[in-house]
Amino acid sequence: MTGFESSGANTAANAAAIAHFSRRLQFETDVSDVHSAIEGGHRVTVVDTRGPSSWEAGRLPGAVHLPTGKIRHRALGVIPTDRPVIVYCWGPACNGATKAALAFAELGYEVKEMIGGFEYWVREGFAYYDEEGRRQEGFDRLVAPAGMAACTC
């Protein structure tokens, strides 16, 4: 048995799938949605959870720097509690943002993890900032359709 056999309509499995994917969307977001939130002026706090050298290499517009290991001790003094927090780390192979999201949740924040991290922010062609100012790379055609900065899904 491969796990891909269909047993026909299965309302229990459908209910479990709906619950699973709803939970994911409640606690995860992607770079395109974060970009839209920032550009749209939504009241969110974007937190870069990487270390200082990573922060200096590049960060999202308006992001606050708070490394994962310092969240439990410093968040309540520097991150507003009256708006959602979106956390990110380097990329999909790093679970730093997941650890950061957990720390924020334990402190009572409404929090989402930006899947794809800084890597996919840059790969989708969105502007970022480093110590010299604003930067913008071309989009990577393997992660964003030609001529578009997002998949429009």
Could you report the per-residue pLDDT of 2-49, keeping only the tens digit for each?
666 666 667 888 999 999 999 999 999 999 999 999 999 999 999 999
CA distances from 73 to 9, 86, 103, 116 (A): 49, 18, 10, 26
Extract long-range pairs of 9-13: CB within 8 Å, 24+ residues apart.
Answer: none
Which residue segment(s) compose the domain that 87 sits in?
Answer: 29-135
Domain membership of residue 75 (yes or no) is yes
Domain membership of residue 110 (yes or no) is yes
**DSSP one-letter code for 41:** T
Task: Report the pLDDT value the prediction gives residue 13, as an integer from 0 to 100.
Answer: 82
Residue 107 belongs to a domain with what CATH number?
3.40.250.10
Domain membership of residue 149 (yes or no) is no
pLDDT range class, residue 140, cuts 50, 70, 90 = confident
Please write the tens of the pLDDT for every residue from 62-121. Answer: 999 999 999 999 999 999 999 999 999 999 999 999 999 999 999 999 999 999 999 999
Select from 89, 101, 83, 100 the least CA-distant residue to 42: 83
Domain membership of residue 105 (yes or no) is yes
Domain membership of residue 146 (yes or no) is no
The total number of structural domains that make up the chain: 1
Report the greatest alpha carbon distance in the chain.
Answer: 58
Please write the tens of the pLDDT for every residue from 48-59. Answer: 999 999 999 999
**C-alpha to C-alpha distance for 46 and 87, rounded to whole angstroms:** 6
Task: Report the pLDDT value the prediction gives residue 58, as an integer from 0 to 100.
Answer: 97
